[in-house]
Amino acid sequence: MENRALNVVPFVSVDHMMTLVLHVGMERFLVELAEYIEEDFRRWPVFDKTPRVASHSSNGVIELMPTSDGELYGFKYVNGHPLNTRSGRQTVTAFGVLADVGSGYPMLLTEMTILTALRTAAMSALAAMHLAPAGARCMAIIGNGAQSEFQAMAFKALLGIDRLRLFDIDASASRRCAANLGAYGFDIAICRSPQEAIEGAQVITTVTADKQHATILTDNMVGAGVHINAVGGDCPGKTELHRDILMRAEIFVEYPPQTRIEGEIQQLAADHPVTELWQVISGLTAGRRDERQITVFDSVGFAIEDFSALRYVRDKIRSTDFYDRLDLLADPDEPRDLFGMLLRHAAKHSAA
């Protein structure tokens, strides 16, 4: 009889992910996740890198995001469908796999809808640690959908942000965001326009969902010395910042070949200079250079960040029972006798 118990794969469900986050504590989870991302960004050259494989439709996009460091392989399946909210569905859903390169066997299967929100927020705050003005305490969040609370919590945990100015074209979204964050020590103002929201903010996070070229921030709205965390522009044909803002800002990106297709810089010439964030994190180049500089993190999400998140979850579930044991691998005692495994299963059920 095949010993399949030795070949089960840990599966972290949505319920288990929520339990894990609460067990660790959200702020600690975000800080530790950012540390894993930082560790992997410091060894950026060892990774396989490619723009994500995307299948676009009129309603959204489905993407695969793979990478490997030569020892582990990870990928994420993720979608982005803004119209889903009209039918009570999430705009973004995801799951991911971490595998052993040596054997090809999966080591982890996990939900990544919640995990992606956490890693996106952790990445934003990690970038801001290098790019935001020193002592920043106030952040504007324009677009108060599913990602906004996670962004706020990450900036609080990693930078000490404690004042929020919220705006969304749907005022109920801002009210919900404020209510969800009410117990976490923020001073929160709900604003009537993007212009009002950015007044007094040292960090501006744009995280809208509509798949279109939009102008959430115009050039005249953005003064010197701010950091813009541009999260919402993340696929071809979807942007949030006016081109003139980009022309007078220092732009930092994850992986230029992907960001030039999907990010804010799709509006610019293909040779417009940008700085790769891994070089800043590794100390190879400077981030913010002076107090009047405008910095933009043109965030589209990259596979190495998901790889870091998968590694983190794999490590955190050890010594816990926050996962199921999934019978995923057909692995007979005799590796060449897969057909015989079927026959033995049939005989077992016939006898029963």
- Over residues 260-280, the mean pLDDT reads 96
Angstrom distance (rounded) from CA 82 to CA 173 = 15
**In the predicted structure, residue 210 carries a pLDDT above the cut 90:** no
Q: Rounded mean pLDDT of the chain?
A: 94
Pick 57 or 42 by higher pLDDT: 42
The pLDDT confidence band at residue 235, using thresholds 50, 70 and 90, is: confident
pLDDT for position 6 = 59
Q: Which of 119, 158, 163, 113 is nearest to 138 (CA)?
A: 163
b/e for 202-213, b at 16 or more Cβ within 10 A? Answer: bbbbbbbbebee
Burial of 295 (0-12, 13-18, 19+ CB in 10 A): buried
Residue type, 112: M
- Over residues 63-77, the mean pLDDT reads 98
Compute the radius of gyration of the chain from its Cα atoms.
Answer: 22
Classify domain 120-301 at the CATH topology level.
Rossmann fold (3.40.50)
The pLDDT confidence band at residue 215, using thresholds 50, 70 and 90, is: confident
Angstrom distance (rounded) from CA 165 to CA 174 = 10
The pLDDT confidence band at residue 211, using thresholds 50, 70 and 90, is: low
Q: Which of 153, 116, 154 is nearest to 306 (CA)?
A: 116
HEC assignment per residue over the chain: CCCHHHHCEEEECHHHHHHHHHHHCHHHHHHHHHHHHHHHHCCHHHCCCCCCEEEECCCCEEEEEEEECCCEEEEEEEEECHHHHHHCCCCCCEEEEEEECCCCCEEEEEECHHHHHHHHHHHHHHHHHHHCCCCCCEEEEECCCCCHHHHHHHHHHHHCCCEEEEECCCHHHHHHHHHHCCCCCCEEEECCCHHHHHCCCCEEEECCCCCCEEEEECHHHCCCCCEEEECCCCECCEEEECHHHHHCCEEEECCHHHHHHHCHHHHCCCCCCCEEHHHHHCCCCCCCCCCCCCEEEECCCCHHHHHHHHHHHHHHHCCCCCCEEECCCCCCCCCCCHHHHHHHHHHHHHHC
Instruction: Classify domain 4-114+305-338 by CATH number.
Output: 3.30.1780.10
pLDDT digits (tens, 9 = 90+) for 291-310: 999 999 999 999 999 999 99
Whether 321 is catalytic is no
- Over residues 215-242, the mean pLDDT reads 90
Angstrom distance (rounded) from CA 129 to CA 123 = 10
- The answer to whether 304 and 73 are in contact (CB under 8 A) is no
- Between 21-35, 46-60, 168-182, 233-247, the lowest mean confidence (pLDDT) is in 233-247
pLDDT for position 2 = 42
- Between 74-78, 111-115, 328-332, the lowest mean confidence (pLDDT) is in 328-332
CA within 13 Å, CB half, 336: 0
- Over residues 140-164, the mean pLDDT reads 97
CA within 13 Å, CB half, 16: 19
Q: Which of 256, 304, 301, 276 is nearest to 68 (CA)?
A: 304
Residue type, 40: D
**In the predicted structure, residue 247 carries a pLDDT above the cut 60:** yes
CA-to-CA dists, residue 324 to 6, 15, 103, 109, angstroms = 14, 11, 22, 10
- 32 is written with which tokens? 């530790």
pLDDT for position 333 = 78
pLDDT for position 3 = 45
Which residue matches tokens 């995990």? Answer: 115
Q: Whole-angstrom distance between the N-terminal and C-terminal Cα of the chain? A: 15
Pairing of strands 163-167, 203-206: unpaired
- Over residues 147-155, the mean pLDDT reads 97
Spot the catalytic one: 168, 234, 298, 306: 234
**In the predicted structure, residue 153 carries a pLDDT above the cut 60:** yes
- Angular region, 320: left φ>0, alpha ψ -120 to 50, beta rest: beta
pLDDT digits (tens, 9 = 90+) for 273-296: 999 999 999 999 999 999 999 999
- Over residues 190-219, the mean pLDDT reads 90
Domain boundaries, the chain: 4-114+305-338, 120-301
